[in-house]
Amino acid sequence: MKVKVIGGGFAGCEACYQLLKRGVDVTLAEMKPTKFSPAHHLETLCEVVCSNSFKSDDVATSSGLLKAEMRLLDSLVVKTAEQTRVPAGSALAVDRFAFSQKVTQTLQEFPNFVRVDKTENSLDIDGYDFVIVATGPLTDEALIPAFRNIFGKEFLYFFDAVAPIVQADSIDFDSAFVASRYGKGDADYVNCPMNREQYLDFYQNLISAQTVELKDFENNVFEGCMPIEVMAKRGEDTMRFGPLKPVGLRDERTGAKPYAVLQLRKEDADGTRYNLVGFQTNLKYGEQKRVFSMIPALKNAEFVRYGVMHRNTYINAPKFLNCNFQLKTDPKLFFAGQLTGVEGNMESAASGLIAAIQAYRIFGGQQPLDFGDETIVGALCKHVSVDYGEYSPMNGSFGILAPLSEKIRDKTQRKIAYSDRAIKSITNTLKNL
């Protein structure tokens, strides 16, 4: 079996490792060091570009659970992170240089591994049984024409900002009402009203909140996806004529017209997650939690995904990929990493891991593994393959898992129940490996 992997980031390196240890001949095409993206500087593979923290290692958190699942799957990324970790409390943080060097060394020690330093401009599969494309959110322009040949221009997304998502059961519905503007539709929105005093307090905190410092190549903001804090700085009432406009909405409980209204829209068919409509943002995560929780209905909100702003290239995966990260129209092509709409280093690595395992099994005439939607890795597989309409990148979180069979009020116990169920599920799945 011969496989080419394009891209030496988290997804690509994880895919290489999973195949190499199974005896597959792997060729990795990586444009470094002949060419660097604006965010990359090291010649080694699996470069840690942003924070050196991979978030919590506590299995009672979604990020900790994802790493626990990946340990069971023998993840190179998680294993190497543990070998190069630095003190960071309950978080798994690494020495970013040692981490990248160790991943590179591990792959190069395999006799069936070949690294080719080149910028790919095609997705040619000649001479290979499969090709796994893992070129990341800063995919080089040389590959864009090849992508457009497959996905069409309308299915290749470039965006600068996305809005946060909150868990449905953390919304205070005593401070919200369900209705569509002007009564049109089937009450599709959860409306979070504010009176004048609440709005002005929120406004003042928003315009003074701390934002993430952007790199030069991320500073070109499209007017259509302007960060909410930038909009707010244009004037006290700007948001009230934009995403917080109260026009056409009336709180049937009181009969009053709100001074300002944030609308929440379902993020999935089951209504377990809601998107803050028009609230794309570049605020730091802690500031998002602090400021957005000032809206009465969100005072106890649990954020499934924080808003983020950066250049990102990703495909409308549910239109084109199955749950194995495999192209529906050409089964020899797999896609992995942030290019598919998974967000985060560990999530990217997990997608590369799954794509490689499934490709190996398919080549050997075995059925792909079914990770279900009770595990983070399985829920990510579902995210990239089930079409709910508008598609946007997603982190692994408890909010994307299948609901628990029983209602657990205590937040800590609920998270433990999610984790226990996931570990049990993935352990049963691995019996088929």
pLDDT digits (tens), the chain, 433 positions: 999 999 999 999 999 999 999 999 999 999 888 877 666 678 899 998 755 668 888 999 999 999 999 999 999 999 999 998 876 667 787 887 889 999 999 999 999 999 999 888 888 889 999 999 999 877 877 888 888 889 886 556 555 566 888 999 999 999 999 887 776 656 678 999 999 999 999 999 999 999 887 554 444 444 445 789 989 999 999 999 989 999 888 887 777 889 999 999 887 667 788 889 889 888 999 999 999 999 999 999 999 888 876 666 788 899 999 999 999 999 999 999 999 989 889 999 999 999 999 999 999 999 999 999 999 999 999 999 998 877 877 889 898 999 999 989 898 999 999 999 999 999 999 887 7
Strands 25-30 and 260-266: unpaired
pLDDT of residue 303: 92
- Full residue range of the structural domain in which residue 144 is found: 2-160+311-425
Q: How far apart are CA 18 and CA 70, in angstroms?
A: 12
383 in a domain, yes or no? Answer: yes
CATH number (domain holding residue 417)? 3.50.50.60
Question: What is the DSSP secondary structure assignment for residue 197, as one 8-state letter?
Answer: H
Q: How far apart are CA 399 and CA 180, in angstroms?
A: 24
Question: What is the pTM for the complete model shown?
Answer: 0.71
Q: How far is CA 347 from CA 43, 68, 196, 340, in A?
A: 23, 12, 41, 11
Last residue of some domain: 254, 275, 306? 306
pLDDT of residue 36: 72
User: Does one domain contain both 8 and 156?
Assistant: yes
Q: How far apart are CA 308 and CA 327, in angstroms?
A: 27
- What SS3 state is found at 303? strand
Cβ 309 vs Cβ 227: under 8 Å: yes
- What SS3 state is found at 7? coil
Residue 74, CB half-sphere, CA atoms under 13 Å: how many? 12
Quote the strand ranges of 75-136, DSSP E.
85-86, 91-94, 113-117, 130-133
User: Does one domain contain both 146 and 109?
Assistant: yes
Count up the domains in the chain and report the number.
2
Quote the strand ranges of 100-211, DSSP E.
113-117, 130-133, 156-162, 165-167, 177-178, 189-194
How is the beta sheet containing 273-276 ordered, strand by strand? 177-178, 189-194, 260-266, 273-276, 165-167, 303-305
Q: How far apart are CA 122 and CA 143, in angstroms?
A: 6
418 in a domain, yes or no? Answer: yes
pLDDT of residue 269: 60
User: Does one domain contain both 266 and 209?
Assistant: yes
- What SS3 state is found at 333? strand
Cβ 147 vs Cβ 315: under 8 Å: yes
Cβ 252 vs Cβ 180: under 8 Å: no
Q: How far apart are CA 325 and CA 274, in angstroms?
A: 25
Tell me the two tokens of residue 361: 């099994």
User: Does one domain contain both 64 and 131?
Assistant: yes
